[in-house]
A and B are shown apart, each in its own frame.
Chain A
Amino acid sequence: MFGRRTLLATAAALALAIPMFGGLGGAKAQQPPVRIAVIGPMSGTGAFDGQLGLEGAQAMAAVINAKGGVAGGRKIELLTYDDKGSPEEGVSAAKRAMEQDNVDLIIGGWFSAVALSLKEATRDKIVTVMTSSQHPKVTEEGHKYLFRLNATSAMMSDFYSKAICERIKPKSVAFMNVNDDWGRLDLENYTKLLTNCGIEIKGHEFYNRTDTDFNTALTKLKALNPDAIYVAAINTSQGATIYRQIRQIGYRGKVIASAGNMNPKLVELSGNSLENVYSATPFTEDNGAPTMKPWLEEYRKSFKNEPSFIASLGAQAVEVLAFGVNAAGDPRAYDKIAAAMKAQPVPTVLGEVRFSDQGQATQTIHLVQVQKKQIVSVRD
Chain B
Amino acid sequence: MDVTVFAQQIANGLVNGMAYVLIATGLTLVFGVLRIVNFAHGEFYMLGAYITYFVGTLLGIDYLAAAAIAAVVVAALGIAANKLIFWPLRRDHEFTILLSSLGLALLISNGGELLFGADPKYVDSPFADEVLDIGAITLTQQRVLVFAAAVVALIGVYLFLRYSRFGKMMRATAQNPDGAALTGINIKLVHGYTFALACGLAALAGALVGPTVMIFPTIGNWAVLKGFIVVIMGGLGSVTGALFAGLLLGVIESLGGGYISLGFMEAIGYAMIIVVLLWRPNGLFSTARGLR
**Residues 214-261 (chain A) with a chain B CB within 8 angstroms:** 215-217, 219-220, 223, 236-238, 240-241, 244-245, 247-250
**Residues 113-154 (chain B) with a chain A CB within 8 angstroms:** 118-122, 124, 128-129, 131, 133, 138, 140, 143
A212 within 8 A of B: yes
A352 within 8 A of B: no
Residues of A within 8 A of B119 (CB): 48, 236, 265
Q: Which of A205, A212, A238, A269 contacts B262 (CB 8 A)?
A: A205
**Residues 148-186 (chain B) with a chain A CB within 8 angstroms:** none
Contact B129 A244 (CB under 8 A): yes
Question: C-beta contact mask, B7-27 vs A, less than 8 Å → 1, else 0?
Answer: 011001100100000000000
B65 within 8 A of A: no
Q: Which of B5, B128, B222 contacts A219 (CB 8 A)?
A: B5
Contact A220 B258 (CB under 8 A): yes
B76 within 8 A of A: no
Contact B262 A248 (CB under 8 A): no
B266 within 8 A of A: yes
Q: How large is the interface on B (under 10, 10 to 19, 20 to 34, 35 or more residues)?
A: 35 or more
**Residues 87-130 (chain B) with a chain A CB within 8 angstroms:** 118-122, 124, 128-129
Residues of A within 8 A of B254 (CB): 215-216
Q: Which of B120, B129, B266 contacts A240 (CB 8 A)?
A: B120
User: Contacts A216-B254, A250-B138, A269-B214 given: A207-B129 contact, CB under 8 Å?
Assistant: no
Q: Which of A216, A238, A265, A272 contacts B12 (CB 8 A)?
A: A216
A213 within 8 A of B: yes
Contact A250 B262 (CB under 8 A): no
Residues of A within 8 A of B138 (CB): 249-250
CA distance A238 to B265 in the complex (A): 16
Q: Which of A212, A238, A244 contacts B219 (CB 8 A)?
A: A212
List the B residue with the shortest CB-CB distance to A272.
Answer: B129
CA distance A248 to B146 in the complex (A): 14
Q: How far is the CB of B254 from chain A (nearest CB, A)?
A: 5
A273 within 8 A of B: yes
Residues of B within 8 A of A223 (CB): 2, 4-5
Q: Which of B129, B216, B257, B263 contacts A273 (CB 8 A)?
A: B129
A208 within 8 A of B: yes
User: Contacts A213-B212, A213-B213, A237-B120 given: A250-B16 contact, CB under 8 Å?
Assistant: no
Contact B118 A248 (CB under 8 A): no
List the B residue with the shortest CB-CB distance to A235.
Answer: B120
B253 within 8 A of A: yes
Contact B262 A216 (CB under 8 A): yes
CA distance A268 to B122 in the complex (A): 9
A291 within 8 A of B: no
Residues of A within 8 A of B222 (CB): 210, 212
Residues of B within 8 A of A213 (CB): 16, 212-213
Question: C-beta contact mask, A167-194 vs B, less than 8 Å → 1, else 0?
Answer: 0000000000001000000000000000
List the B residue with the shortest CB-CB distance to A266.
Answer: B120
A206 within 8 A of B: yes
CA distance A205 to B260 in the complex (A): 12
Residues of A within 8 A of B124 (CB): 271
CA distance A240 to B266 in the complex (A): 21
Residues of B within 8 A of A250 (CB): 131, 133, 138
Q: How far is the CB of A182 from chain B (nearest CB, A)?
A: 16
Contact B140 A216 (CB under 8 A): no
CA distance A238 to B4 in the complex (A): 26
Question: C-beta contact mask, B212-251 vs A, less than 8 Å → 1, else 0?
Answer: 1110100100100000000000000000000000000000
Residues of A within 8 A of B263 (CB): 179, 206, 208
| Contacts A213-B213, A269-B121 known; 10 new A-B pairs at CB < 8 A | A212-B219, A215-B16, A216-B265, A240-B214, A244-B129, A245-B212, A248-B212, A249-B8, A250-B138, A271-B122
What are 28 A-to-B residue pairs whose CB atoms are below 8 Å? A48-B118, A48-B119, A179-B263, A205-B262, A206-B262, A206-B263, A208-B265, A212-B222, A213-B16, A219-B5, A219-B12, A223-B2, A223-B5, A237-B120, A241-B214, A244-B128, A245-B212, A248-B131, A248-B140, A248-B212, A249-B138, A250-B131, A265-B120, A268-B122, A269-B214, A271-B122, A271-B124, A273-B129
Residues of B at the A interface (CB closer than 8 Å) are 2, 4-5, 8-9, 12-13, 16, 118-122, 124, 128-129, 131, 133, 138, 140, 143, 212-214, 216, 219, 222, 253-254, 257-258, 262-263, 265-266
